[in-house]
Amino acid sequence: MFSANDLEHNLVLESMKTPAPSGGRSPGRVCGMALILLTAVGLFAQPAAAPLTFEVATIKPASGDDRRSAMMFQPGGGFRATGVTVKALLTLAYDVREFQISGGPKWIETDRFDISAKAERGASTNADSEPAGPPPRLSDQERKTMQEQMAQRLQALFADRFHLAFHKETKEQQVYALVVGKGGSKLQPAQAGASDRQRMMRMGRGSVDGQGLPVEFLIRAISGQLGRPVIDRTGLTGNFDIKLQWTPDPGQALTPLGGAPPPGVEPPPSDPNGPSIFTALQEQLGLRLESQKGPVDLIVIDRVERPTEN
């Protein structure tokens, strides 16, 4: 999903548009100069940056006694995960949801791994040190850059250690469109002057609580819970303070970000008197989900192997 953009250099010589004056350079010489200059641009152009990788990565089966599951970015481009499945890692590496991944053996959904990876040398002068105090808040652009760089490293890890091969398909499937209800949106605008560095989001089973968030964050949370793509048709821009609580249906995801909990871990019981996510959206946020069909991008796994321990 991440491709480098080539820079195209165009050279225009105004002297080629008019005949050369007497005693001046001939059109042939001007063309020759243009050819030389264009060739030089090609020879000395900067090569495309090599994909980012981890310098070293340790992958082991997760302990059978540890039911935790977490993924953490670390200083300097490092990565640590506990109790994660291959399918969960794929969502981070290729910016997809689990329902967008098909094919592959059953173990990519059940086998869990602990991963500790350090970025290549030179990625950061603080790659080997933990920051003092709480982690710094990131701007939108800083967060996007960090996620893109981590995705590159994880993609390289999949190719090298899991021997992953896949192809992409687009299929027409059922999706949801999120629209504003008849009574208008009830989303509360974020406080004036709040920056994107002050964003916060907490998710639990049947709850989303966030500050200073664009609608995109709510879309991703809903999509993960329903196991279906959600398209933003609200037309709402800006950042909002979001608080949504509902009672998950039996068929909905059992973890906040979608998917099943680790083996042996039972989710807390739901309030049988609480609203469904559809009702909660309408009553609490003034938004509505409409079912329709639309194109869905899929990753189809052709080959994947269990990693060897190291």
pLDDT tens track for 229-243: 999 999 999 999 999
**CA 183 from centre of chain:** 33
Most confident range, picked from 47-51, 261-265, 278-282? 278-282
Most confident range, picked from 113-122, 224-233, 249-258? 224-233
Q: Name the pTM for this structure.
A: 0.67
Q: How far apart are CA 237 and CA 235, in angstroms?
A: 6
pLDDT at 76: 85
pLDDT at 63: 80
Examine the pLDDT at 306 and tell me if it is beyond 90: yes
Sign of the C-alpha dihedral, residues 145, 148, 151, 153? negative
The pair of three-digit structure tokens given for residue 293, joined into one six-digit string: 């069909």
Examine the pLDDT at 161 and tell me if it is beyond 60: yes
Q: E strands along the chain, which residues?
A: 54-61, 70-74, 78-84, 101-103, 113-119, 165-180, 188-189, 200-204, 207-213, 230-232, 240-245, 287-303
From the CB of residue 61, how many other CB atoms can be counted at a distance below 10 Å? 12
pLDDT at 184: 96
Examine the pLDDT at 276 and tell me if it is beyond 90: yes
97, 114 contact by CB (below 8 A) = no
Q: How far apart are CA 299 and CA 29, in angstroms?
A: 54
Q: What digits encode the pLDDT tens for the residues 49-59?
A: 678 999 999 99
Q: What digits encode the pLDDT tens for the residues 162-197?
A: 999 999 999 999 999 999 999 999 999 988 665 555
